[in-house]
Structure 1
Amino acid sequence: MSVRHLAVVPAYNEAASVERVVGSLREHAPEFDVLVIDDGSTDDTFDRATAAGARVLRHPFNLGIGGAVQSGFTFAKERGYDFMVQVDGDGQHDAGQIEVLQRTMASEGVDVVCGSRFMDDSGHYPAPISRRTGIHIFAFILSRLVDGRISDPTSGFRLYNQRAISLFARDYPHDYPEVEAVLMLHHHKLTLREVPVRMFTREGGVSSISSGKSAYYMIKVLLALFIGLARARPVPEPGEAAAVSASQGL
C-alpha cells in the first residue's frame, strides 16, 4: 500500500493568499493531497481555494486555529493518511521547505518535525520585537518543562506521523494551540525535532494576534501551559476512533 500524505491549510479570511499557497503546495509537494480548512471565512477563501484545486472543508462559523487544525487531524486519521503537514493559509510557510521536514523525520524517526524561524539565530525573520520577545519567553519556559531546547514554539509549520495525528485528532488545544501542543507531545512521550527553515511575512489578511492583544495572548498561553502541565490526558492508540468526525461539511 502506498504512503499517503496530507497538507492541511487552516484559513480564515485568507482570500488574498490561499490560491498561491495551494498552488505552491501542488508544485513543490505534489505527493501531498491538499485540504484547506475554511474556518468560517466571510470573504472568498472557499471559492479561491476550490478554484486552486484544493479540497475544502468548510466550517459554518469560526472555531479558531485550534478547531481548524484539529479538523485536519481528524480528517487525516479517518482517511488513513500516514503523514500530515500543517501549512498556514497566509503564505508565511514555504512549501519548498517541506522536504526539509521530511528528511529529518525519516533520518531521526521522530513523531513531529517543526520548522523554526529562530533556530539558527540569524534574525532573518522580520518579527516585531514584542512578538519575538514573547516567543523567546515561551521557548525559555518550554525548554525547561520538556528538558530540551525549543526555539520556536509558536511555529505552525509542522510535519506529523500517524502517532501524532492520532493524538491530536482526539485532543488538540484551542485558541493558540502550538505552544501547548509541544507540552502535550512531551507528556505523551512523543518526540519532536526542530529544523531551521525560511519563512515569509504574511501575504494578506490580518493576524489573530494584534499588538493590542499581545499581553493578553502571553498571559493566556502561559496559563494554558501550566494548566496543560497539570492535566492528565489519555494516550490514544493509532486504531482508536477520533472524538469528532471531520467528514461532515465535505
Structure 2
Amino acid sequence: MSVGTGGPETGNRQEGAGTPRTLIIVPAWNEERNVGATVTEILAARPGYDVVVVDDGSTDGTAGVAHDAGATVITLPFNLGVGGAMRTGFTYAKRRGYQRAIQVDADGQHNPADIDAVLDGLTRADISIGARFADVGDYDVRGPRRWAMIVLAKALSRVTGTRLTDATSGFRAAGTRAIAQYVEYYPAEYFGDTLDSLVAASHAGLTVTQVPVAMRPRMHGTSTQGTWGAMVYLLRAVFALTLAVVRPGRRGPRETENPQS
C-alpha cells in the first residue's frame, strides 16, 4: 500500500475549531474517467474537508487522475473490493484523528451537495445513511432488484431498530465510534460493506439513522453491481443478509466516545 498527497494543503483544509475533522473516503477501481470530476466537485462543494481516494488495485490511471484533482491517494497493490478499500480508508481516518468519515463513490452517483446533510445525521446516531428511497429525487429501481431492496430494508430496520428505506446505499457517514468499529470489522465480501457492516455495528451497540438524498446517474461506464442479473442480485442479497444476521454478535469498539455531535 502506498500513500500520495494531492497538494500542499491536503490534510489541513479543516474549517474552524468547532468543526469536527472530516474525511471523505472515495473507493475507486478503474475509475479514471470519473474520479477526477468527482474529486473536483467534492472539493468545490466542501473545501473544508479532506479527501482520500483509495485506489483499489486499478489497472488504469485512476491514481494519477485522483492525485492531479487534489486528493490524497492510497494505492492498494491488488483489488480488495469496496469493503477492503473502505476499511483501508477508515484505518487512515482513525490513525489521522478524524472524528467523522463519509463514503462518496467515485462514479458520480453521490451528489457532493448532500454531504453535509448526511453528516448532520451523526448528531443523532453513530452511522448516517444517505437513503435513495425516502421521498427525495427520482431514483428508480424495478423488478426483483427493487423487491430485494425492500426486503433488505425491512429486515435491517428490525435489526437496527430504525426505519430504513435503503439498506444497500454506500453513501453513508461514520462518527468516532463507528470509525473504530469499522477498523476492527468491515467485511469485504459481496454486500458485506453495506449489509454485514451495518448488522455488525448494530450488534455492537451502535445507532443508525438515515437522511433522504437524491442519487444521480453514473457519469461513465457501467456499474459492476447487477451484472449477474436481477434474480442473482436478489438471491445473493438475501443470502448475504442471512449470513450477517446469524453470525455471532461482535463486541463494540474499544473506544467509548459518544456519537459525534
Q: TM-score scaled by structure 1?
A: 0.87
Q: Determine the structure 2 residue equivalent to 1:212.
A: 228
Count of residues in Structure 1 that have an aligned counterpart in Structure 2: 236
Shift in CA distance, 165/193, structure 1 to aligned 2, threshold 3 Å:
same
Q: 1:112 aligns with which of 127, 150, 153?
A: 127
> Which amino acid in structure 2 is aligned with residue 53 of structure 1?
G
Shift in CA distance, 130/220, structure 1 to aligned 2, threshold 3 Å:
closer
| CA deviations over 1:184-203 (Å, ceiling 9, x no partner) | 22211111111111110111
Q: Determine the structure 2 residue equivalent to 1:156.
A: 170
Secondary structure (helix, strand or coil) at the match of 1:212 reads coil
Q: Determine the structure 2 residue equivalent to 1:139.
A: 153
Q: Does 1:57 align with 2:74?
A: yes
Q: Determine the structure 2 residue equivalent to 1:80.
A: 97
Q: Does 1:183 align with 2:199?
A: yes
**C-alpha separation in 2, matches of 1:203 and 1:131:** 21
Correspondences of 1:1-250 after superposition (within 5 Å): 2=17, 3-106=20-123, 108=124, 110-120=125-135, 124-174=138-188, 175-176=190-191, 177-230=193-246, 231-238=248-255
Higher mean alpha-carbon deviation, 5-14 vs 131-140, is at 131-140
Shift in CA distance, 173/221, structure 1 to aligned 2, threshold 3 Å:
farther
Gaps of 5+ in 1: 240-250
**C-alpha separation in 1, matches of 2:253 and 2:160:** 20
Higher mean alpha-carbon deviation, 216-225 vs 163-172, is at 216-225
Shift in CA distance, 47/128, structure 1 to aligned 2, threshold 3 Å:
farther
Q: CA deviation at 1:104?
A: 3.0
Between 1 and 2, higher relative CO (CA 8 Å, sep ≥ 6) is seen in 1
> Which amino acid in structure 2 is aligned with residue 67 of structure 1?
G
**C-alpha separation in 2, matches of 1:105 and 1:147:** 16
> Which amino acid in structure 2 is aligned with residue 220 of structure 1?
R
Between the aligned residues of both structures, percent identity stands at 38
Pairwise CA RMSD: 1.9
- Any conservation in 2 of the 1:13–1:205 contact (CA below 8 Å)? no
Secondary structure (helix, strand or coil) at the match of 2:88 reads helix
> Which amino acid in structure 2 is aligned with residue 178 of structure 1?
T
Q: TM-score scaled by structure 2?
A: 0.84
- Any conservation in 2 of the 1:112–1:193 contact (CA below 8 Å)? yes
- Any conservation in 2 of the 1:9–1:34 contact (CA below 8 Å)? yes
**C-alpha separation in 1, matches of 2:94 and 2:157:** 29
Secondary structure (helix, strand or coil) at the match of 2:101 reads strand
- Any conservation in 2 of the 1:126–1:201 contact (CA below 8 Å)? no
